[in-house]
Amino acid sequence: MQVQEQSLTPAIGASAIRSENKTSKDVSDLEELTTDTDPDPNMYSITIAEALDQNKPLLVTFSTPAYCQSATCGPQLGVVKDLKSSHSSDMNFLHIEVYDNPDEIQGDLTRGKISPTLTEWGLRTEPWTFVVDAEGLVQAKFEGFVGPEDLELAIQAVLQ
């Protein structure tokens, strides 16, 4: 087994990547942005860069609910959406779909194109969730499923 000396993802304490991901302003339908069957439009309304410019904490989750390799992306997005309902006035919540063309896949992952935002963030697996403070610094990151209790602790840390 080989272990990398340094993670490819942004380190704790490092600046979050100022990605210009696609948003609802770039598409005609949210199906072009997400495989979530019940998407929250607010999670697709601004780019990561725009969220960082607001000087508010940010939670960004990278997942593909319909095509997740680990079967945890849908539940992870559900946890994030539940937490958003309690904290949306204090911070931004964004979902970045793993695939750049989810509406074109139609069950055939060979058609899938990985989102450039995942590449920018150094993500090779999914799901990933990052909690960023108001200064734009990564304060917590989670690979795989993370429960609501742990995410709530990370959120509380950036809201203080």
Q: Which of 39-53, 57-71, 92-106, 112-126 has the highest mean pLDDT?
A: 39-53
Q: At what angle do helices 73-87 and 148-159 cross, to 10 degrees?
A: 40
User: What is the mean pLDDT of the segment spanning 53-66?
Assistant: 95
Positive or negative, the CA dihedral 138, 147, 107, 35 is: negative
Q: How confident is the model over 39-55, as pLDDT tens digits?
A: 999 999 999 999 999 99
CA 54 to chain CA centroid, nearest Å: 17
Q: CA 62 to CA 58: how far, in whole Å?
A: 13
pLDDT value, residue 105: 86
CATH placement of domain 24-159: 3.40.30.10
H-only helix segments in 4-126: 48-53, 73-87, 102-105, 116-120
Quickly state the pLDDT bin for 110 (edges 50, 70, 90).
confident
User: What is the mean pLDDT of the segment spanning 104-132?
Assistant: 93
Q: Burial-class residue 59 by CB neighbours within 10 Å (0-12, 13-18, 19+).
A: buried
